[in-house]
A and B are shown apart, each in its own frame.
Chain A
Amino acid sequence: MKYYFKLGVILLLITAVASGVLAVVNNYTKPLIAQNKQKTEEEARRMVLPKAETFETDSIEIQEAKVKPDPLMIQKESDKSSYFKYYIGKDEAGEVTGYTFVARKYGYSSNIETMVGVKPDLKINKIKVINQAETPGLGANCENEDFTKNFIGRTIPKLLVDKDGGDIESLTGATITSRAIINSIKDGLQNLKQALSSSDNNEEDKE
C-alpha cells in the first residue's frame, strides 16, 4: 500500500511541475497570441480599405438569432442577441471612405473569416480571407487573388455563386466553401446596411 502511495506522489509531483512550467509559458505567450490576431485584422483592414487613414469602431445589436440553434452544439448566450461590429474608415480630412467588417461562417471543415472592405455606397471594395483551414488544393484556394477579385464592386443582390444562378465563379470542387464565404458577406452587408440606416438616419439618406 505504501509503495502505491509513493508511486502516486511521484506522478503527482511530475504533473505539478509540468503544469507550473506550462502556466509560465502560457502567461508569456497569451498576450502575444492576442496581439497577433489583432495585427492580422489591422493589416487586413488596411488592405481592403487602403484609402482610409483612421478607423473607428461601432456596433449594433441584432435582435433575433438568424440561424436555428443546433441541437448538437453548445448554445452560446450571444446566439440570442448578438452584436454586429464594424469599423468606419476615415481619411485625413475626416471624410468617411468606407466600412470594414469581418464575415464569419462555417465552411467545409473550418470557420472561415473574411475581412470585407465596403465603399460608402455599399459596394464591395475588396475582400481578404484572414482565417480558414479548408481542404488544401480545393477550398483553401479561397485565399487566392483569383477568387477574391470576383467580389470587387458587388452589391447584395449580385452575391450569388454560379451553381446558384449567379456569376461568381466557384472554386473548383469547393462549392461549399465558396457559398459559405458569399453568404457570410451577404449577411454582413445586410447588417451593415441596417446599422447605417439606423445611426445615420438624420445625417444623410442612403437610398
Chain B
Amino acid sequence: MELIGRIFALAITAIFVQNFVLSRFLGLCPYIGVSKKLDSALGMGMAVIFVMTMASTFTWLIQSYLLIPLKLEFLQTIAFILTIASLVQLVEMVIQKTAPALYKALGVFLPLITTNCAVLGVAILNINQELNFIGAILNGLFAGLGFTLVLVLMAGIRERLDKAELPASMKGIPIAMIVAGCMALAFLGFSGLNI
C-alpha cells in the first residue's frame, strides 16, 4: 500500500510539481522547436517517453553495476551520453525493422532525442536522488509523461496563436516563450502541494 502511495507521489512530483520543462528547464529545445503542430508534438512526446524510460533503466544499471564498483564515477557523463546515443540508435533500428508504422510516426524525432537534455537530465537526477532500480524506471516514465503533457498543451495553444493577430516582432519563438511563462506560472501553483 505504501508502495502505491510513493509511486503516486513520485508521479505527481515529476509531472506537475517539478515538471521537467516548466520548472526544471530541461528539454526546452524540442519544447520550442517541435510544438508548432499537435500531431508532431504527440509523436515527439511518445518517442521521448520511450527513450527516457529505457535510458533511465540502462544508465541506472551502468552506474550501479559498472561505475560504482569500479570507482569510475568521474566517467558518468561520458558513459551516460554514450549509452543514450547508442540506445537511440538501437531503438531506431529495431523499430524500423519490426514496426514500420511506428517508425513512420516517430522516426524523424528519434535522432533529435540524443541531444535532448531532458533524457540525460533524468538519468543524472535518478542517481542524484538515490532512487533504486524501480524508482529510476518509474521516474523516467513519469518525467517523459510530464514532458509530453506540456508539449501537447503548448502545441494546442500555438496552433491557435497562428491565427491570432500579433505584432510581427513577437511572432514565433518570442510569443512561445511568453506562453511558456504563463504556463510555468500556472504550474508554480503546484509547488504548494505537500507530498
Cβ–Cβ < 8 Å partners of A71 in chain B: 2-3, 6, 134-135
CB within 8 Å of B: which residues of A?
15, 18-19, 22-23, 25-26, 68, 70-75, 108-109, 135, 173, 176
Q: State whether B131 touches A72 (Cβ < 8 A).
A: yes
Q: State whether A74 touches B78 (Cβ < 8 A).
A: no
Given contacts A109-B18, A176-B194, contact A73 B74 (CB under 8 A): no
Q: State whether A22 touches B130 (Cβ < 8 A).
A: no
Cβ–Cβ < 8 Å partners of B46 in chain A: none
Interface size on B, residues (CB 8 A): 19
Q: State whether B78 touches A73 (Cβ < 8 A).
A: no
Cβ–Cβ < 8 Å partners of B191 in chain A: 108, 135, 173
Main secondary structure of the interface of B (DSSP, over half): helix
Q: State whether A72 touches B138 (Cβ < 8 A).
A: yes
Q: Mark B107-139, 1 if CB is under 8 A from A, else 0.
A: 000000000000000000000011110110010
Given contacts A109-B18, A176-B194, contact A73 B135 (CB under 8 A): yes
Q: State whether B75 touches A72 (Cβ < 8 A).
A: no
Q: Mark B49-86, 1 if CB is under 8 A from A, else 0.
A: 00000000000000000000000001100100010000
Q: State whether A19 touches B75 (Cβ < 8 A).
A: yes
Cβ–Cβ < 8 Å partners of A72 in chain B: 3, 6-7, 10, 131-132, 134-135, 138
CB distance from A164 to the nearest CB of B (A): 12
Q: State whether B132 touches A26 (Cβ < 8 A).
A: no
Q: State whether B78 touches A70 (Cβ < 8 A).
A: no
Cβ–Cβ < 8 Å partners of A173 in chain B: 191
* A75 partner, pick from B132, B134, B138, beta carbons under 8 A: B132
| A19 vs B70: C-alpha distance when bound (angstroms) | 13
Q: State whether B6 touches A70 (Cβ < 8 A).
A: yes
CB within 8 Å of A: which residues of B?
2-3, 6-7, 10, 18, 74-75, 78, 82, 129-132, 134-135, 138, 191, 194
How many A-B contacts are there with CB distance less than 8 Å? 41
Q: State whether B194 touches A73 (Cβ < 8 A).
A: no
Q: State whether B78 touches A15 (Cβ < 8 A).
A: yes
CB distance from B183 to the nearest CB of A (A): 17
Q: State whether A73 touches B130 (Cβ < 8 A).
A: yes
Smallest CB-CB A-B distances: 4 pairs: A72-B135, A26-B74, A71-B3, A74-B132
CB distance from A172 to the nearest CB of B (A): 12
Considering the complex, give the chain A residue whose CB is closest to the CB of B64.
A74
Q: State whether B74 touches A23 (Cβ < 8 A).
A: yes
Cβ–Cβ < 8 Å partners of B18 in chain A: 109
CB distance from B16 to the nearest CB of A (A): 14
Considering the complex, give the chain B residue whose CB is closest to the CB of A18.
B78
Cβ–Cβ < 8 Å partners of B6 in chain A: 70-72
Q: State whether A22 touches B135 (Cβ < 8 A).
A: no
Cβ–Cβ < 8 Å partners of A75 in chain B: 132
Considering the complex, give the chain A residue whose CB is closest to the CB of B193.
A176
Cβ–Cβ < 8 Å partners of A15 in chain B: 78, 82
* B131 partner, pick from A18, A19, A73, A176, beta carbons under 8 A: A73
Residue with the highest number of chain B CB atoms closer than 10 Å, among A18, A23, A25, A72: A72
CB distance from B9 to the nearest CB of A (A): 9
CB distance from A140 to the nearest CB of B (A): 14
CB distance from A138 to the nearest CB of B (A): 8
Q: State whether B10 touches A19 (Cβ < 8 A).
A: no
| A123 vs B15: C-alpha distance when bound (angstroms) | 42
| A68 vs B5: C-alpha distance when bound (angstroms) | 13
